[in-house]
Structure formats: C-alpha cells, structure tokens
Amino acid sequence: MLDLSSCFRAENALRIGAVYVAGAGYTAAAGAMETAATAVPVVAGSAVAGGVVANLAEAGAKGLGASDTVAQGTGAGAAILAVRVGALMALQLG
C-alpha cells in the first residue's frame, strides 16, 4: 500500500544518496538522483489519483448499465491512464 511515509522515505533516500554520490565526484549521477527525488511526490500523487479515477470510472460504467467485467476493465484503464499522465508530468521536472 502506498502511504505518505514511504513516499517521504524514498524521496529522502534519493536526496541523501545524491549528496554522497556528488561527494564521490559523480555529479551527473547526483543530478539524476535529485531529479528522481523531485519526481517521487508527483508519481505517488498520480497513483493516488489513479485509484480515485478508477473507482469513479467503474461506478460510472456500472451506472450506465455495463457488466461487472466491463466496469472493472474501464476502471483499470482509467487508473493506468491517470498514472501515465502523472509519469509524464514527472518527466517535465527533469
């Protein structure tokens, strides 16, 4: 399960690691780690948004008379789309 504390730990681990990597002289790798740390909250947020969108899409499909299988497929597709949009947003940070 994704929670804020694991997101916080991942972001901090990347930032602290970047300090050590930069200290060892690998500045390009340190920059990449900083960029990844910046993207962690965006991607985590998109995963949460994906779950919300999936539930809404599934409920909407059921409300329109879709079968359970079709409604679940609609929800899964919506979740994947929401997470992909979040990943694209994170790419813009780099």
Whether residue 3 has pLDDT greater than 70: no
- Please answer whether residues 47 and 80 qualify as being in contact, where contact means their C-beta atoms are separated by less than 8 angstroms: no
Q: Residue 62: what pLDDT?
A: 93
Q: Residue 51: what pLDDT?
A: 84
Q: Residue 67: what pLDDT?
A: 93
Average pLDDT value for the chain = 84
Residue range 35-77, pLDDT digits in tens: 888 878 877 777 788 888 888 999 999 999 999 999 999 989 9
Predicted model pTM: 0.60
Q: How many CB atoms lie within 10 A of CB 88?
A: 11
Distance CA 81, CA 83 (A): 6
Domain range summary for the chain, segments of one domain joined by +: 4-91
Q: How many CB atoms lie within 10 A of CB 93?
A: 12
- Please answer whether residues 47 and 10 qualify as being in contact, where contact means their C-beta atoms are separated by less than 8 angstroms: no
Q: How many CA atoms lie within 13 A of 94 on its CB side?
A: 16
